[in-house]
Amino acid sequence: MLEEPYRWVEAIRNRREYLDDQLRGASPVVATHYRDGVLLLTTTPGPRKVFEVYNEIAFAAIGHPADIEKLRKAVIDIAHLEGFNLSANDVNLQRLVSFGIGPLVKEAFDEIFRSPFLARVLVAELDPLSGDDVFYTIDADGSFVRAGRAAAVSGSEESVKAIVECLEGEAVDAELNAALRGALRAWGCGRLVLDSEEGEKPSAEGVDEYLRSALKDLQVEVGVLDRSMPTKSKFRLLNAEELQDALAAYRGA
């Protein structure tokens, strides 16, 4: 009996190492402000990774597609239950994270006889009245952090740090194309840090060279929460035409 606590601690440590190993190769998700709202960008070879959750709230994640879908549906259900029991104005990101997705992910992580969620989540909320937009990141162990004017989820802490540093150098009131270009550079920087054995931040020239090579075979996925939209739902995915200008420098368009 005396050994049981130590076995549990060892099992938790092993789970954490397993999750870190499985998520290390994932394509980062980056999020930043732009003039009309919030932008979330990633790349994917297939399944979507950026979604709407509720009117002014967006969800993105890295990890196993099945686990991403489970968490997305869970957040949607929690948001709509809040909206039904209270009101649409009472649905906010802090409550969804603190009392919803955070405890859900932590419970799965702590139960050693249950498979944990193989995912890291980034959620964003648009405040159309005050402009006080909010980012949260939720790790695979259920811990969560409120971010500043930029946020990211990736396969390593070094990659996240490099991405956020790149994004914080961009103008808060940048128009959409400028914000897209900045997000692409930040994504490329984070991706290179993941691939580097030393985790060193690459040069601007190195990022541009990598993007010209990598973006030939990858699908860029971008969702925005646009406060200028007249509808209740502020979320939309950008189409190929809207991405063309930002991608032109790297795809030779």
10 Å CB burial of residue 173 (0-12, 13-18, 19+) is exposed
Q: What are the residue ranges of helices labelled H in the chain?
A: 4-23, 65-85, 93-96, 102-110, 157-168, 176-195, 204-214, 240-251
Question: Which residue is associated with the tokens 């509808």?
Answer: 231
Spatial neighbors of 243 by CB under 8 A, at least 6 apart, are 180, 220, 222
Instruction: pLDDT band for 220, please (50, 70, 90 cuts).
Output: very high
Residue 178 CA to residue 6 CA, distance in Å, equals 52
pLDDT in tens, 96-151: 999 999 999 999 999 888 899 999 999 999 986 666 789 999 999 999 999 988 99
Residue 105 CA to residue 120 CA, distance in Å, equals 10
Mean pLDDT over the full length of the chain:
90
Give the domains, in start order, of the chain with CATH numbers. Answer: 27-240 (3.60.20.10)
- Residue 142: the pLDDT is 95
Neighbours of 71 (CB within 10 A): 23
- Give yes or no for residue 2 having a pLDDT over 50: no
- Residue 148: the pLDDT is 82
Identify which of 129, 169, 178 has the alpha carbon closest to the alpha carbon of residue 148.
Answer: 169
pLDDT in tens, 68-104: 999 999 999 999 998 888 887 788 899 999 999 999 9
pLDDT in tens, 24-46: 989 999 999 999 999 999 998 77
- Give yes or no for residue 9 having a pLDDT over 90: no
Q: What are the residue ranges of helices labelled H in 31-142?
A: 65-85, 93-96, 102-110
Please check whether residue 19 is in contact with residue 115, taking contact to mean a CB–CB distance below 8 angstroms: no
β-bridge partners, 134:
125
